Amino acid sequence: MEIIIAKNTGLCYGVKRALKTAQKTRRLRQGKVSTLGDLIHNPQVIADLEAKGVGSIEDVNDIEEGTVIIRSHGVSPEIHKALKRKKLEVIDATCPIVQKIQELVARLARENKEIVIVGNKEHPESQGLIGHSRGRGLIVENETQTAALAFKRKRAVLAQSTQDLHLFKKVVASLIEKTEELQVFNTICRSTQTRQRTTSELATQVEALFIVGGKNSSNTRKLYQISKRILPRTYFIENAGQITTEMLRGARTIGISGGASTPPEAIEAAVEKIQQIFEPHSREESRVQCQK
């Protein structure tokens, strides 16, 4: 049996940077240290941070003291102002790539353009981007919502950094039909695009594929959807304990991929679990390799 791990799997630059910032802040600051929202969409990592004294709060109104860390997704200018009003110490771990998208949105808003953001309405990054759009932005999640938009003379379209490229292209194609002058900014970050491409390639090479990551992680869910379109035996698991004998039945080549918030330990645990299930039933040795 062969296990192939997708290239570029595991934590992305922005999430790694935010995690390091949180750990460093905890070491250097006295008193309460909290992140505004979960730092990454991964329950195990969040539990680990909590054990080390970095809690997570959902709302600015829920905190009165200490240091607040803004996660890689960034926040709206209103949230920045609310934190300032409370005189809390703020450590901004917004991913620099997301920061650039926020600046782009603010510039387009100053130019009075309608800004279509291809993203998930509930996702914190999209909510932050909307906040930078001064009321000129709107989020579309699918082609149906795009089809319902009116004709405009000028419009700009961009994407949440972790958006599915396939969907973004479809939305752009649909907007061309209903905009006289359309500006297109492909703001899907390079790490997301590479991850989506390598996962779809892996889905064509293996017989079963495990996407490892938190169920609330939007980019991990998209990887699952992309792989599932190619390979019906794609499984979305949060941890290695969810891998069963039935999922592996008859498969000789097995793929593993993970989202931007999946730590390397979760991938290693999935490899070990697959080997544990496989080896008692076979005299053959399993081989683990990274995707070429």
C-beta closer to ligand SF4: residue 119 or 255: 119
Q: What are phi and psi of 220, to 5 degrees?
A: -70, -40
Among 8, 9, 126, 191, binds ligand SF4 (CB under 6 A): 191
Catalytic one of 125, 180, 265, 279: 125
C-beta closer to ligand SF4: residue 94 or 179: 94
Nearest to 192 by CA among 5, 3, 9: 9
Among 69, 208, 260, 270, binds ligand SF4 (CB under 6 A): 260
Which residues have C-beta within 8 Å of that of residue 177, sequence separation ≥ 6?
A: none
The window from 10-18, 25-33, 80-88, 170-178 that contacts ligand SF4 (CB under 6 A) reads: 10-18
CB of 18 to ligand SF4, least distance (A): 8
CB of 283 to ligand SF4, least distance (A): 42
Nearest to 119 by CA among 70, 173, 162: 162
User: Is residue 125 annotated as part of the catalytic site, yes or no?
Assistant: yes
The count of chain residues that interact with ligand SF4, using the rule CB under 6 A, is: 14
How far, in Å, CA of 105 to CA of 187, rounded? 11
CB of 56 to ligand SF4, least distance (A): 17
C-beta closer to ligand SF4: residue 174 or 262: 262
CB of 187 to ligand SF4, least distance (A): 9
Considering only residues 116 to 175 of the shown chain, the ones binding ligand SF4 according to CB under 6 A are 161-162
C-beta closer to ligand SF4: residue 200 or 217: 217
